[in-house]
């Protein structure tokens, strides 16, 4: 069984978590053009290396960021979203 | 037939024709380079040679022919999709498949079974009716069947009403079929090689050269190859290869697992799919049950198998066929599915001139092997995108003009 370490709840079975997409910068909604918006919504790097990803610990609804290698499936690091987005950013920046 | 067989035995010629002709060294340049020797790349090579007389073609395959998702799929062929774009496109493929054993002179074991998508809720019944109407409108044979008729058609299906998700009816699609997936790749590849196409295995594309917005060459582990046109057909590796040409795709690579049981006496004629239970199953001519479900919960470039997948799949399968509880699994495997946001493929032109793409085949691309090969060959040969695949263009995403097939493809493949 694969484990993931939740920054809030510690190591848990990975089946308790939901994957939420790549962490990519959100374009400014008042200035972005259609292509930029489409690229944010639909396109993806989908790299076969280390990727920064959104994850949610479902039982506690806690969103955080994980760095995971997409070939070895090794989870290198997990941390609160505030480390990237600053304090208070988490709820606003989590993907739907 | 026995006479023909005897003739073949004595002359011994036909069987030889079917074998691949393996090329020697890579040439310095080709008119067309096809990246990826799966069913799609090999079919495109065959139709380029046969329909368009273009034979200065190299198929570059990093592993062995047909060893990717072509060898890993559960071989379901159908055209009961939801969107008109999807139905028309897959219908052409089903028609091509029906004569393909003769055309390729190889036994594809094409077996028409009927395809049954179960509905466990009123909402699902409505979707099935919708799909049936779209299908019929476009000349594809599908109909909604309700409980009693379904029970007659699939006598061993558990139709009890006191289960978690009782079966209310199904979308029944008589043309639904299964075939021998490896033979499709071998058939196309063998005949393409006899028409002059070079198929280079263990040849990995590692770079793509673009000048003034136009592709000029590919780099490989065996050296540089100049080329006039390129067709990329690498399924699960689509994003990595497109990145070499500076193209970002609407694709995520996610494992899709499947498994097969020990052989049983024939009891299941149609292919059974349940979206609500995340399971589908068919019985091969050898009697094995081929089973699968939806993709893994997160992206990964790996083909490992997990216990979670099997536990969940079996739990659901036993809701449909409780008497299978003592049956043993024989094999399990996975492939890397190139998933798109709208569960439709990405085909045609790219921002790079003369660089064409055939990707986004996710969990549904085996059935499209003949039609995508034929239509991508047409695109590469004429430089014009046929109407049939226009809806699947890469630019549909920036135009917010998606082809939503999730309802018909997320579990049913
Ligand atoms: C478990 C499973 C079940 C499925 N079930 C069904 C089904 O029932 N019905 C259905 O229609 N579809 C199904 N599919 C989907 C179907 O298998 C694929 O969509 C289809 O086989 C794709 O064919 P392809 O030729 O594009 O890709 P592949 O067969 O994967 O071929 C791509 C090739 O490209 C090569 N390649 C990659 N990178 C490079 C490089 N850099 N240089 C050179 N070569 C490279 C790979 O080695 C590979 O051989 C299933 C898939 C899986 C995994």
pLDDT by 10s per residue, chain A, length 96 = 899 999 999 999 999 999 999 999 889 989 999 999 999 999 999 999 999 999 999 999 999 999 999 999 999 999 999 999 887 655 444 554
Say if A71 is an interface residue toward chain B (CB within 8 Å).
yes
The range of the structural domain enclosing residue A15 comes to 3-43+50-93
Q: Is the CB of B115 under 6 A from ligand 1?
A: no
Given its phi and psi angles, is residue B190 left (phi above 0), alpha (psi -120 to 50 degrees) or beta?
alpha
Q: Is the CB of B39 under 6 A from ligand 1?
A: yes
Question: Mean per-residue pLDDT for B316-342?
Answer: 97
Q: Is the CB of B85 under 6 A from ligand 1?
A: no
Query: How many structural domains comprise chain A?
Result: 1
Query: B398–A35: do the CB atoms touch at under 8 Å?
Result: yes
Pairing of strands B355-359, B223-232: parallel
Q: Which among B303, B323, B339 is the end of a domain?
A: B339
Residue B21 in domain: no
CA of B309 to the centre of ligand 1 (A): 20
Are B174 and B123 found together in one domain? yes
In tens, the pLDDT along B73-118 reads 999 999 999 999 999 999 999 999 999 999 999 999 999 999 999 9
Are B153 and B230 found together in one domain? no
The pLDDT of residue A1 is 81
Q: Is the CB of B90 under 6 A from ligand 1?
A: no
The pLDDT of residue B16 is 58
Q: What is the pTM of this model?
A: 0.94
Q: Which among B295, B315, B339 is the end of a domain?
A: B339
Residue B320 in domain: yes
CA-based nearest residue to B118, from B136, B131, B106: B131
Residue B164 in domain: yes
Are B158 and B242 found together in one domain? no
In tens, the pLDDT along B186-216 reads 999 999 999 999 999 999 999 999 999 999 9
Closest atom of ligand 1 to B236 CA is 30
In tens, the pLDDT along B284-314 reads 999 999 999 999 999 999 999 999 999 999 9
Question: Mean per-residue pLDDT for B396-411?
Answer: 88
Residue B151 reports pLDDT greater than 50: yes
What are the angstrom distances between the C-alpha of B22 and each of B18, B150, B190, B194? 12, 50, 10, 10
Query: A71–B341: do the CB atoms touch at under 8 Å?
Result: no
Query: Taking a C-beta distance cutoff of 8 angstroms, is the pair B182, B42 a contact?
Result: no
Residue B354 reports pLDDT greater than 70: yes
Confidence of residue B413 (pLDDT cuts 50, 70, 90): confident
Residue B22 in domain: no
Are B282 and B394 found together in one domain? no
The domain that contains A89 carries what CATH number? 3.30.2270.10
Are B408 and B374 found together in one domain? yes
Residue B5 in domain: no
Query: Taking a C-beta distance cutoff of 8 angstroms, is the pair B270, B113 a contact?
Result: yes
Are B295 and B309 found together in one domain? yes
ipTM of the complex: 0.91
Q: Which among B315, B339, B363 is the end of a domain?
A: B339
Are B295 and B327 found together in one domain? yes
* Average pLDDT across chain B, whole number: 95
Are B200 and B348 found together in one domain? yes
Query: B301–A70: do the CB atoms touch at under 8 Å?
Result: yes
Sign of CA dihedral B27, B31, B34, B40: negative
Are B213 and B319 found together in one domain? no
The range of the structural domain enclosing residue B369 comes to 28-74+181-250+342-412
Token pair belonging to A14: 């990975």
Query: How many structural domains comprise chain B?
Result: 2
CA separation for the pair B344, B365 (Å, rounded): 9
The pLDDT of residue B109 is 96
CA-based nearest residue to B59, from B34, B24, B85, B79: B34
The pLDDT of residue B12 is 62
Q: Which residues of B lie closer than 8 Å to A, measured between beta carbons?
A: 237, 239-240, 243, 248-253, 297-302, 304, 307-308, 341, 397-400
Of A1, A43, A47, the CB nearest to B250: A43
- What's the DSSP call for residue A15? G
Among B188, B254, B347, B365, the mutation site with the greatest number of ligand 1 atoms within 8 A of its Cβ is B365
Higher local confidence (pLDDT), B11 or A4: A4
Q: What percentage of chain B carries pLDDT values higher than 90? A: 93
The pLDDT of residue A89 is 57
- Number of CB pairs < 8 Å for A and B? 60
Higher local confidence (pLDDT), B408 or A9: A9
Are B270 and B169 found together in one domain? yes
The H or E element spanning position A85 is: helix A82-85
Interface test mutation site (partner B, options A23, A48, A58, A66, max chain B beta carbons within 10 A): A48
Residue B209 in domain: yes
Confidence of residue B13 (pLDDT cuts 50, 70, 90): low
Q: Which residue has the tokens 């790219």?
A: B350
Are B167 and B218 found together in one domain? no
Are B195 and B155 found together in one domain? no
Residue B397 C-alpha, separation from nearest chain A C-alpha, in angstroms? 6
Residue B216 in domain: yes
The domain that contains B155 carries what CATH number? 3.30.9.10
Closest atom of ligand 1 to B333 CA is 1
Residue B303 in domain: yes
The domain that contains B363 carries what CATH number? 3.50.50.60
């Amino acid at each position: 069984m694969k484990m993931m370490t939740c920054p809030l709840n510690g190591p848990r079975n990975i089946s308790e978590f939901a994957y939420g997409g790549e962490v990519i910068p959100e374009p400014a909604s008042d200035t972005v053009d259609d292509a930029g918006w489409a690229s944010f919504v639909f396109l993806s790097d989908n790299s076969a290396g280390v990727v920064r990803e959104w994850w949610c610990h479902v039982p506690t609804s806690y969103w955080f960021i994980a760095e995971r290698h997409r070939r070895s499936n090794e989870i290198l690091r997990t941390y609160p979203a505030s480390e990237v987005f600053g304090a208070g950013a988490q709820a606003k920046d989590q993907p739907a | 037939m026995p006479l023909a067989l005897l003739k073949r035995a004595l002359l011994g010629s036909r069987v030889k024709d079917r074998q691949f002709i393996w090329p020697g060294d890579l040439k310095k340049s080709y008119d067309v380079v096809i990246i990826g020797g799966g069913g799609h790349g090999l079919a495109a090579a065959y139709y380029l040679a046969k329909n368009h007389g273009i034979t200065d073609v190299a198929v570059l395959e990093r592993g062995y022919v047909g060893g990717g998702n072509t060898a890993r799929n559960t071989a379901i062929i159908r055209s009961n999709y939801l969107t008109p774009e999807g139905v028309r496109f897959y219908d052409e493929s089903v028609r091509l498949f029906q004569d393909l054993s003769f055309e390729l002179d190889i036994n594809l074991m094409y077996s028409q079974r009927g395809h049954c998508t179960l509905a466990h809720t009123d909402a699902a019944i409505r979707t099935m009716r919708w799909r049936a109407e779209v299908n019929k409108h476009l000349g594809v044979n599908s109909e909604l069947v309700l409980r009693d008729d379904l029970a007659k058609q699939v006598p061993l299906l558990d139709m009890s009403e006191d289960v978690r998700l009782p079966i209310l009816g199904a979308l029944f699609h008589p043309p639904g079929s299964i075939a021998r997936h490896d033979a499709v790749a071998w058939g196309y590849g063998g005949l393409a090689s006899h028409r002059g196409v070079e198929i280079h295995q263990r040849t990995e594309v590692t770079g793509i050269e673009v000048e003034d917005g136009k592709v000029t060459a590919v780099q490989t582990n065996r050296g540089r190859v100049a080329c006039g046109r390129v067709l990329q057909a690498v399924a699960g590796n689509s994003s990595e290869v497109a990145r070499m040409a500076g193209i970002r795709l609407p694709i995520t690579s996610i494992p899709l697992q499947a498994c097969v049981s020990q052989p049983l006496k024939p009891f299941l004629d149609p292919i059974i799919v349940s979206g609500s239970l995340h399971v589908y199953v068919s019985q091969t001519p050898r009697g094995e049950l081929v089973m699968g479900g939806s993709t893994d919960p997160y992206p990964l470039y790996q083909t490992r198998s997990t216990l979670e997948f099997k536990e969940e799949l079996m739990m659901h399968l036993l809701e449909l066929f409780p008497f299978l509880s003592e049956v043993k699994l024989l094999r399990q495997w996975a492939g890397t599915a190139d998933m798109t946001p709208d569960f439709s493929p990405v085909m045609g032109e790219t921002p790079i001139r003369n660089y064409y793409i055939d990707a986004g085949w996710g969990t549904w691309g085996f059935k499209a092997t003949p039609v995508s090969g034929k239509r991508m060959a047409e695109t590469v040969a004429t430089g014009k995108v046929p109407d049939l695949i226009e809806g699947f263009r890469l630019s549909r995403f920036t135009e917010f003009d998606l082809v939503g097939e999730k309802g018909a493809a997320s579990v049913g493949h």
